[in-house]
A and B are shown apart, each in its own frame.
Chain A
Amino acid sequence: MIDQLTVFLENSEGRLAKLCRDIAAAGIDMKALTIADTPEYGVVRIVCDDALRARDYLDEKGYRAMVTKVAAIEVPNRPGGLAELLGVLDDLDIPVEYGYCFSTSGDRAVDILKIRVPAEASKAVFKLEEAGFRVLTQAEL
């Protein structure tokens, strides 16, 4: 499991740019960013090299930021990679709240999944590893 940085932003012009500038100013390196947007607000989810420090920094800057545990899973970078991964969880009836993926190199991709019920997360990780997936730690990202 890794730490994901989540920031609540008003859906207005320039907010995301300002957030990114602030993250850059803190010397935080982002690896992935995704936004769940509504007409009024957006929830920005970020994978970075130090989510805890980023959260504290943003807190001080007046943002609503938090750290959430998510699973980062390495999948082969080929057609059907993600389908196989989700198939495992589906078979176990473990609901996923949201997910997104990013490629880190040519032949592998990393998928981020938020398991809806936190108590089921370790079971999910165990089963995924059993099925041959590599679940990454923060350091392995």
Chain B
Amino acid sequence: MSTQEDVLTMSRDRIASAQVEGIRKTAIHCYEDIPFYHRSFDEAGFDPYAIRDLDDLRRAPFVTKQDLRDNYPYDMVGVPRGDVKEIHMSSGTTGVATVAAYTEADLRAWAECFSRAFRFAGVGADDVCQICYGYGLFTGGLGAHYGSLRSGATVIPISAGNTERQIRVLREMGTTVLECTPSYAMHIADTALAMGIDPSKEFSLKVGIHGAEAFSDNFRHELERKLDYKVLDIYGLTETGGPGLAVECLEQDGLHIAEDHFYCEVIDPATGEVLPDGEWGELVVTTLDREASPVVRYRTRDITRILPGECPCGCTHRRIDRLQGRTDDMLIIRGVNVFPSQIENVMKTFEQVSSWYQIELTTKNYLDVATLKVEANPDFDIDSTGAIEELQRQIQGALKTALSVGIRVRLVEPMSISRSEGKAKRIVDLREENLK
């Protein structure tokens, strides 16, 4: 068995040949053990046994989130139930979640992938990792936990919330590695400052591993200035086994794909054609060694590109650029996935408002602020400010219950929500702009 250093600096030729082998193994595993793939490969005339090089994969059909949902709960699991050791689920709060199942080997590989962030950052036995991702079905919490344990560091599994306690622990336990969403890191920094604590002096942080949300370079610089540490991005999604698919090195110029566990393509989301390196498109992922929840050409709907060229850090695994949003309308508000359909379902229960709505996303004190603009129906009593306020409060409460995230509700004039071709522009995302 090769050591980890060997894996990360393996020659491109060796990586590519190992990837062909992994793709072939995974495609055959899917074909033989998961009826969905058997059908879809047959329908596409794709023979997994005929895979000889990376280009052969391009003939394989894509698999989508909907396919995974349609096969909820166990139909996409490729091993006997007894071999499944752990299950995680996507955070979709209505409709059907997608399932990520792990065998013992899958859990080991996950920990290994996540721990590369620590390898890159030079984190080891002398470090203290404070994990404030939420623990539970969300892959962030336990993914960070397993990855941190593997690095040899001391782990403080504090989970999310109670910011003042987070700050106390950061200060008193000598935490060197902070693991949470980037917006929560900023919230911790600002809360500490408000409490009269200067985190750049009183914390001992070396590095922050901040995933699950996109963030700008300016945001990163602001975090690094306030907390006096290095911020590294980490990427992954439930459907490919959680965070660790790609992690940033100290160069902070793209995220190295764990190419011994995943094969990534970037496609034109409209045509499905594979794009050359450097071009922006939708990331498509094939797992190379997952046993319980393998995927072949999973369409992530995340927009990125393969960064051409070698990374000065010496790691030979290709890099993807920082994520540039998603191909569909899914929103991530303070780390919580929100689908417009969920909002529509809530709106349907209020006969006082029309179905036209718009979500405006802005940033205040480095946290996402979501505002839902709604129009009152013609028979709603707009003469009463009390009635208007009460309606806004009620919708706000219902949204909070349904989405687990706070959204402000504002009644607006009719036609003030821009419509084009009979469709409202549902999302106005002003978050990045506010950071510039």
User: Using a CB–CB distance below 8 Å, which chain A residues touch chain B?
Assistant: 4, 6, 8-10, 36, 38, 40-41, 43, 45, 59, 62-64, 66, 68, 97, 114
The listed residue (A36, A41, A68, A97) touching B412 by CB distance below 8 A is A41
7 further A-B pairs in the complex, CB-CB below 8 A; given A43-B388, A64-B382, A114-B383: A6-B382, A6-B383, A10-B416, A38-B385, A59-B378, A66-B378, A97-B386
The listed residue (B388, B413, B415) touching A9 by CB distance below 8 A is B413
What is the CA–CA distance of A10 and B415 in the complex, to the nearest angstrom?
Answer: 11
Contact present for B416 and A43 (CB under 8 Å): no
Contact present for B383 and A66 (CB under 8 Å): yes
Instruction: Confirm or deny: B410 has a beta carbon within 8 angstroms of a beta carbon on chain A.
Output: yes
CB distance from B295 to the nearest CB of A (A): 45
Number of interface residues of B (CB under 8 A): 17
Q: Interface SS of chain A: helix, strand, loop or mixed?
A: strand
CB distance from B376 to the nearest CB of A (A): 6
Instruction: Confirm or deny: B340 has a beta carbon within 8 angstroms of a beta carbon on chain A.
Output: no
* A9-B413, A10-B412, A10-B416 known; A64 vs B384 contact (CB < 8 Å): no
Contact present for A97 and B388 (CB under 8 Å): no
The listed residue (A4, A59, A62, A66) touching B382 by CB distance below 8 A is A66
Instruction: Confirm or deny: B411 has a beta carbon within 8 angstroms of a beta carbon on chain A.
Output: yes
Contact present for A45 and B382 (CB under 8 Å): no
Contact present for A8 and B382 (CB under 8 Å): yes
CB neighbours (8 Å) of B412 from chain A are 10, 41
Chain B residue at minimum C-beta to C-beta distance from A114: B383
- Chosen A-B contacts, 5 in total, with CB atoms closer than 8 Å, are A41-B388, A43-B385, A64-B375, A64-B376, A64-B378
Chain B residue at minimum C-beta to C-beta distance from A38: B385
CB neighbours (8 Å) of A68 from chain B are 383
Instruction: Confirm or deny: B92 has a beta carbon within 8 angstroms of a beta carbon on chain A.
Output: no
- Chain B CB within 10 A, most for which of A38, A41, A64, A66: A64
The listed residue (B376, B385, B388, B415) touching A62 by CB distance below 8 A is B415
CB < 8 Å A-B pair total: 44
- Chain A CB within 10 A, most for which of B375, B381, B383, B414: B383
The listed residue (B381, B383, B411) touching A41 by CB distance below 8 A is B411
What is the CA–CA distance of A66 and B381 in the complex, to the nearest angstrom?
Answer: 8
What is the CA–CA distance of A9 and B413 in the complex, to the nearest angstrom?
Answer: 6
Within 8 A of A (CB), among B376-424: 376, 378, 381-386, 388, 410-416
CB neighbours (8 Å) of A114 from chain B are 383
Within 8 A of A (CB), among B349-393: 375-376, 378, 381-386, 388
CB distance from B410 to the nearest CB of A (A): 6
Chain A residue at minimum C-beta to C-beta distance from B408: A40
Contact present for B384 and A8 (CB under 8 Å): no
CB neighbours (8 Å) of B414 from chain A are 62-64
Chain B residue at minimum C-beta to C-beta distance from A42: B385
Chain A residue at minimum C-beta to C-beta distance from B377: A64
What is the CA–CA distance of A139 and B382 in the complex, to the nearest angstrom?
Answer: 26
What is the CA–CA distance of A66 and B387 in the complex, to the nearest angstrom?
Answer: 14
CB neighbours (8 Å) of B411 from chain A are 8, 41
CB distance from B364 to the nearest CB of A (A): 14
Contact present for B383 and A10 (CB under 8 Å): no
CB distance from B377 to the nearest CB of A (A): 9
CB distance from B368 to the nearest CB of A (A): 19
What is the CA–CA distance of A9 and B385 in the complex, to the nearest angstrom?
Answer: 12
What is the CA–CA distance of A40 and B384 in the complex, to the nearest angstrom?
Answer: 15
CB neighbours (8 Å) of B376 from chain A are 8, 64
Contact present for A45 and B413 (CB under 8 Å): no
Chain A residue at minimum C-beta to C-beta distance from B389: A38
What is the CA–CA distance of A68 and B383 in the complex, to the nearest angstrom?
Answer: 7
CB distance from A63 to the nearest CB of B (A): 7
CB neighbours (8 Å) of A36 from chain B are 385
Chain B 250-270, CB-CB to A under 8 Å as 1, else 0, gives: 000000000000000000000
Contact present for B383 and A40 (CB under 8 Å): no
CB neighbours (8 Å) of B384 from chain A are 97
CB distance from A39 to the nearest CB of B (A): 10
CB distance from B381 to the nearest CB of A (A): 8
